[in-house]
Amino acid sequence: MSDGQTIASDESPSSDELRERSRKALQAQQQPTVTVLSSLIAVQDELHYIPDEAIEETATHMKSTINDVWSVASFYTNFRFTPPGDHTIDVCWGPSCHLGGAQNVMLRVHSELGVDEEGETADGKLTLRYSTCLGACALAPVIAVDHHMKGRQTPDSAAAVVNGLKGA
Ligand code: FES
């Protein structure tokens, strides 16, 4: 996280709650083979990130060490270790979207969010991610808000989407 970025703490779950939710996610795994990786995926599905508490609970659950769990968690770029914003905006820059003008959409989204890369806005409320394909190429250029696709975007329409989220 860069300087000046904060996460709203008034609604953040307590350490005890993070542990409890992590334990439940770990125990709810149904697949025949439970691994450190599957456990971390289960926790991130539940919490949307991997807090320190989840690393510790995963180590306990898997009878492993914190170092071993951390080495798996840090290897995969899909895991995140800070809480996401209240809403996540994915902007696709894959081939179809690129040809359709995704770069201008991306630049406008940056401008509206006040960021110049992936991550959280300064108030921690919105998360921007880049995607190499959101799976809706026929609707390029595509963005998604909390996994809901919004196709045929222009810089102006994307700006309207982002600004709608600012007050949400
Ligand atoms: S390349 Fe953007 S949705 Fe596939």
pLDDT at position 11, please?
A: 67
Q: Which atom of ligand 1 is nearest to the CA of 95?
A: 1
Instruction: Report the run of H or E that residue 148 belongs to, with start and end.
Output: strand 148-150
Residue range 109-161, pLDDT digits in tens: 999 999 999 999 999 999 999 999 999 999 999 999 999 999 999 999 999 99
Nearest to 7, CA basis, from 48, 53, 41, 58: 48
What is the distance between the alpha carbons of residues 84 and 44, in angstroms, rounded to a whole number? Answer: 11
Ligand 1, atom 1, residue with closest C-alpha? 94
**pLDDT bracket for residue 1 (50, 70, 90):** very low
- From 99, 133, 148, 152, give the residue whose CB has the most ligand 1 atoms within 8 Å, as the site to mutate: 133
pTM score, two decimals? 0.74
Residue range 64-87, pLDDT digits in tens: 999 999 999 999 988 999 999 999
Q: Which atom of ligand 1 is nearest to the CA of 97?
A: 2
Sheet of strand 126-131: strand arrangement: 119-120, 126-131, 87-92, 143-145, 148-150
The percent of residues above 70 in pLDDT, for the chain, comes to 93
Give the 3-state secondary structure of 66-130: HHHHHHHHHHCCCCCCCCCCCEEEEEECCHHHHHCCHHHHHHHHHHHHCCCCCEECCCCCEEEEE
Residue 89 identity (one-letter amino acid): I
Break the chain into its structural domains and give their ranges: 15-75, 87-166
Q: What is the topology classification, in CATH, of domain 87-166? A: Glutaredoxin (3.40.30)
> Ligand 1: distance of its center to the CA of 103 in Å?
13
**pLDDT bracket for residue 104 (50, 70, 90):** very high
What is the distance between the alpha carbons of residues 88 and 84, in angstroms, rounded to a whole number? Answer: 7
Please list every protein residue whose CB sits less than 6 Å from any atom of ligand 1: 92, 94-97, 133-137, 140, 142
In the predicted model, what is the mean pLDDT of residues 91-111?
97
Q: Which two tokens stand for residue 117?
A: 């890369």
- From 90, 91, 92, give the residue whose CB has the most ligand 1 atoms within 8 Å, as the site to mutate: 92
pLDDT at position 51, please?
A: 97
Average pLDDT value over all residues in the chain: 92
What is the distance between the alpha carbons of residues 142 and 8, in angstroms, rounded to a whole number? Answer: 29
Q: Which atom of ligand 1 is nearest to the CA of 139?
A: 3
